[in-house]
Structure 1
Amino acid sequence: MRRKDDAAEFLEDHGNVPTEQVDMKSLRRKIDLRIIPFMFCCYVLQFLDKVMLNYAAVMGIKTDLHLTGNDFTNTATWFFIAYLIAEVPNVYFLQKIPAAKWLGINVIFWGTAAAASAGAHDYRSLLVARIFLGIFEATIGPSLMLLSSQFYTRSEQAPRFTFWYIGLGVAQILGGVISFAFQQVHNSFAGWRIMFLVLGLVTALVGALTVLFIPDTPMKAKWLSESEAVALLQHVSVNQTGVWSSAFDGNQIWEAMRDVQLWLLTLTTICTSVSSGVVTTYSATLINNFGFTPPHSALLNTPSGIVSIVFTLTVGIGIRRTSHRWAWFIFCTIPGIIGGGLMSFLPKHNKAGILVGIYLVNAIVATLPILYQWTMANCAGHTKRAVASALVAGSFSVGNIIGPQTFQARNAPEYRPAKVAVLATQAAAGAGAFVLFLYYVWENRRRRSRCGDMEVEVKWAGLTDRQNQWFRYVY
């Protein structure tokens, strides 16, 4: 027997609560102020803790830890291998533990792992710290996706995904400034060690606040009155995806494994994330190879964050007003393709042109929240949504595993194969988004021909998007 969503049980118990006086605009603003800042801070810190290795590369970590050959590349790669492996148990834990709690606990642990990186004394100790960092960071994407889908309708999710995802661009800017600042510290404790320690402790503190202040579900939000909670659940019921259920449905896992859209989303995410792996791990190194000093290399990397923020905000606003996620996705791949071309084919003495290429590649980061939105908007059933979010987050890891591995020591200092890989994968990602668009259009037409134009809302039945023939995909 299929277990009802917890939201359905809550509405049954509070069916007589009046909601006429609830102003949805004010309620949305209240929710935004209560949860978005924590989500934003978590996303800023996950990227900072991850990208600090990028900046540490020009702060002396290779010399201090005697890293040779592909040691540095391997530490970056193993972070994402651990991230990918951890997505498997994440599916189960996100089904049994509320996303907010699971997120906060893992933020505390990854902050501890980041701080522990300060004590690394050789390649192996750094590798162990990075592996644990990858394990604990693995929940960030799935948890934030599930949280966003609990409190907002599908059309409202686009700008909210944008609000917390611009934390990536902010982190890119802060990372350069923080690295520059810690490079001014000259004592027996290296600047990169102090940087890891401070950021790790700040992260652990934010994790504790996340556990305390983000509610498990809308039904348990103490700062919502009964009428506001009921009004909110009635409002988000149009998603037909459910809010929360701890019941584990193995059939939904099997369905997810056979769902064409999820494999298209997976392949597109991998292509997108190859460039992300390049940006996360090697952008400071590429700039440093132009002959700039390490402090200036860190500062010159900050415009990348501005590009990320501009494109992420543009996409978020654009989708909210016009939908057409597929078109906005392709829009973001065009600068990435141009940037990959500039990096690949301009002569190395053209520093300005190659710098512009490095900056333009960062436009592609705005495609990831689109993939997150598609995943949450088009996958129904709590177990299936947990699986889908883990698959997409795992695909992000695969791309980030491939990205750093395109940087081989034998190709230094130009790393031309890596730059060509950026160009090729951006073009493939754009093609993937277009195929997704065609698939969603075809599937919606097929369902209309079978069920007619009448749309029936199956709100709390616990059905997946494939079981519910009145479900319509957004694109």
Structure 2
Amino acid sequence: MKMQPDYSKSTADHVESLENQCVVTQKQGQLSTLDSVVEPALERRVIRKIDMMVIPFICVTYLITYIDKAMLGYSAVFGLKEGLNLHGAEYSWLGSMFYFGYLAFEYPTSFMMQKVPVSKWLSLNLFFWGGMTMALAGCSGFNSFLALRFLIGALESCSTPAYLLITAKWYKIEEQPIRIGWWSTFLGVANSFGGLLAFGVGQIKGLLQSWQYQFIVIGAISCVWSIFMYFMLAENPSVAPWLNDEEKEVAVRRLGRRHQGANHAGIKKYQIIEAITDPKTWLLFLCGVATQVVNGAASNFGSLIIEGFGYSNLVTTLFQIPYGMVIIVFNVSAMYIQRWLPGQKRCLVAIIYVCPALAGAVGIHTIPREHKAALLVCYWLTSTYTASFAMIMSLITANTGGSTKRTVVSALFFVSYCVGNIVGPFSFKENEAPTYTSGIVAMLVAYCVEIFLVLSFAAYAGMLNRKKEQALDSQGIALEDANVQTSSAEANFDQTDREDIFFRYSF
């Protein structure tokens, strides 16, 4: 017999574990699922509050994180190479070493976030990597700078996985792409604001060199923001001071059975095996490599590419502002287009938005150097790939069920993120400056590979959906039965996407 929640009690009394997202009630020793149907007007009010009090923290942190990574490229045009006496491939090693640290700590930090509050873990890591970023200004040679870059990468390895986990905790599957789009748009804001910040800091005249002030300023910003976020970002509805008891209840109930148990602390071996043997995992892995080969190139060599067109160092930093504006426009348009299209055609939108980037790379490779304006426009076009990366990230949360499986898939995806960012800088060879032919060709290949992989993912996900529909038909079950309430003895709140017969893949 299904028990109804006792609304006379406080939220803390009848919601057993909002932190674990296990939407169940407890009464006389029995458990039952909560009705996921809520009043539309009340739900809209709760969503607006969540949008205002959760997403801005991710947006600002994402902005700071990207500027922190891109600061190496900005510093390169303000004398970093000369200040550290870099030769040969040493600058490329500084760009890649960050991702070796990221790679080494990706699994530990992902599993740690199953054990501790994600918001607190992210805040603490941000504080320490901000401190180490400031310490970069004190380095006088290649070795010390390289070691700190590794440690900063290790601390920052929690960042994007944390953003995805926080988004998945608060939003339905169909709501996640547009929220991911919102905070990924701040990649564009970071490029624009980072260019302005680098330009402004470049005007400082003091005892230190210009490139040293760059790291001191962004490191200090990171530390201050981390302290504010530690105390202000709510981990889950049960501790959100800006939600009343009724709103806390709705914030969990609205997510429905798919989100129940979305963050179980236990690690399940069979889900690890399923994640590793799932073809979707490796299609996403390879997509991550392809997109991040481009990102590794752009974040570390973007300013040098523009400088190679014949512009001064200060003008080069200002020309990163339009690059960021293109990212904002394309990311915002992509997330709304996929929302309006029937069935949210995420893979189709991802492919469409890779095409201008592909055209831009072709232009940089083929247009003569004397056509500076045309080359600059082509460089700006290469930024449109970021919209496809936002779509690909949304595919992880939308197509992976099971807490442990989701953690493993996310961790593997961010291993690919590291691999791509490690490979990208090494495709740009010092002896090919300022044209960097090998690097531009590597970007071209990466774009083409990404298009093929996204098409493959869509085809495979469609095939899986058809198989599940056939299985339901053979048992005489309708898809609408997914919303039927079941007794606690039958409920399984941590099913993988393969186990859940009602799970449908989004592509």
For normalisation by structure 2, the TM-score amounts to 0.89
1 CA distance for matches of 2:33 and 2:429?
A: 62
**What is the Cα deviation at residue 218 of structure 1?**
2.6
- For the pair 1:95 / 2:114, whether they are aligned, the reply is yes
Equivalent position to 2:469, from 448, 451, 457: 448
Per the alignment, residue 412 of structure 1 pairs with 433
The aligned runs of 1:137-216 (5 Å cut-off) are 137-216=156-235
Equivalent position to 1:236, from 255, 263, 266: 255
Per the alignment, residue 153 of structure 2 pairs with 134
Per the alignment, residue 487 of structure 2 pairs with none
- Asked if structure 2 preserves the Cα contact closer than 8 Å seen for 1:240 and 1:460, the reply is no
1 CA distance for matches of 2:17 and 2:247?
A: 21
Q: Which runs of 5+ in 2 are unaligned?
A: 1-15, 484-490
Per the alignment, residue 469 of structure 1 pairs with 501
Equivalent position to 2:276, from 244, 252, 257: 257
CA separation of 1:28 and 1:344: change in aligned 2, threshold 3 A: same
Q: How many residues align?
A: 473
2 CA distance for matches of 1:31 and 1:371?
A: 23
Per the alignment, residue 7 of structure 2 pairs with none
2 CA distance for matches of 1:149 and 1:16?
A: 19
Per the alignment, residue 367 of structure 2 pairs with 346
Deviations 1:384-420 (A, max 9, x none): 1122222222211111111101011222221101101
**What is the Cα deviation at residue 325 of structure 1?**
0.1
- Asked if structure 1 preserves the Cα contact closer than 8 Å seen for 2:310 and 2:372, the reply is no
Structure whose CA Rg is larger: 2
- Asked if structure 2 preserves the Cα contact closer than 8 Å seen for 1:242 and 1:380, the reply is no
Per the alignment, residue 393 of structure 1 pairs with 414
Per the alignment, residue 347 of structure 2 pairs with 326
Deviations 1:164-210 (A, max 9, x none): 11111101001111111122122221122112112111111211222
- Asked if structure 2 preserves the Cα contact closer than 8 Å seen for 1:106 and 1:137, the reply is yes
- Asked if structure 1 preserves the Cα contact closer than 8 Å seen for 2:262 and 2:494, the reply is no
The aligned runs of 1:355-374 (5 Å cut-off) are 355-374=376-395
**What is the Cα deviation at residue 10 of structure 1?**
4.8
Partner SS, residue 394 of structure 2? helix
CA separation of 1:60 and 1:150: change in aligned 2, threshold 3 A: same
- For the pair 1:51 / 2:70, whether they are aligned, the reply is yes
Q: Which runs of 5+ in 1 are unaligned?
A: none
Partner SS, residue 403 of structure 1? helix
Q: Give identity over the alignment, percent.
A: 29
For normalisation by structure 1, the TM-score amounts to 0.95
Equivalent position to 1:30, from 49, 53, 62: 49
1 CA distance for matches of 2:202 and 2:129?
A: 24
Which of the two has greater helix per residue?
1
Equivalent position to 2:452, from 421, 431, 439: 431
Deviations 1:212-268 (A, max 9, x none): 122222333232222222222221125456432212222211111111111101101
2 CA distance for matches of 1:4 and 1:215?
A: 15
- Asked if structure 1 preserves the Cα contact closer than 8 Å seen for 2:294 and 2:424, the reply is yes
Partner SS, residue 208 of structure 1? helix
1 CA distance for matches of 2:34 and 2:380?
A: 55
Equivalent position to 1:308, from 316, 324, 327: 327
1 CA distance for matches of 2:422 and 2:340?
A: 35
Deviations 1:259-316 (A, max 9, x none): 1111101101111111111110101001112221110111112211011111110111
- Asked if structure 1 preserves the Cα contact closer than 8 Å seen for 2:21 and 2:169, the reply is no
- Asked if structure 2 preserves the Cα contact closer than 8 Å seen for 1:380 and 1:465, the reply is yes
**What is the Cα deviation at residue 320 of structure 1?**
1.9
- Asked if structure 2 preserves the Cα contact closer than 8 Å seen for 1:277 and 1:399, the reply is yes
**What is the Cα deviation at residue 107 of structure 1?**
1.1
CA separation of 1:408 and 1:235: change in aligned 2, threshold 3 A: same
1 CA distance for matches of 2:143 and 2:34?
A: 61
- Asked if structure 2 preserves the Cα contact closer than 8 Å seen for 1:240 and 1:471, the reply is no
- Asked if structure 1 preserves the Cα contact closer than 8 Å seen for 2:89 and 2:430, the reply is yes
CA separation of 1:366 and 1:316: change in aligned 2, threshold 3 A: same
CA separation of 1:272 and 1:15: change in aligned 2, threshold 3 A: closer
Give 1:84's aligned amino acid. L
CA separation of 1:98 and 1:251: change in aligned 2, threshold 3 A: farther
Give 1:200's aligned amino acid. G
- For the pair 1:457 / 2:492, whether they are aligned, the reply is no
Give 2:132's aligned amino acid. A
Give 1:454's aligned amino acid. A
Give 2:122's aligned amino acid. L
Partner SS, residue 95 of structure 1? coil
Partner SS, residue 188 of structure 1? coil
The aligned runs of 1:6-25 (5 Å cut-off) are 6-8=20-22, 10-12=24-26, 20=39, 23-25=42-44
- Asked if structure 2 preserves the Cα contact closer than 8 Å seen for 1:266 and 1:395, the reply is yes
Give 1:8's aligned amino acid. C
Deviates more, 1:172-181 or 1:228-237: 228-237
Give 1:340's aligned amino acid. A
- For the pair 1:277 / 2:277, whether they are aligned, the reply is no
**What is the Cα deviation at residue 26 of structure 1?**
1.1
CA separation of 1:9 and 1:154: change in aligned 2, threshold 3 A: closer
- Asked if structure 1 preserves the Cα contact closer than 8 Å seen for 2:365 and 2:441, the reply is yes
Deviates more, 1:318-327 or 1:208-217: 208-217
1 CA distance for matches of 2:435 and 2:259?
A: 50
Give 2:416's aligned amino acid. S
Deviations 1:66-122 (A, max 9, x none): 011111110001111111121121232011112212211111121112111111111
Give 1:55's aligned amino acid. Y
2 CA distance for matches of 1:329 and 1:285?
A: 28
Equivalent position to 2:402, from 381, 397, 412: 381
Per the alignment, residue 63 of structure 1 pairs with 82
CA separation of 1:470 and 1:287: change in aligned 2, threshold 3 A: same
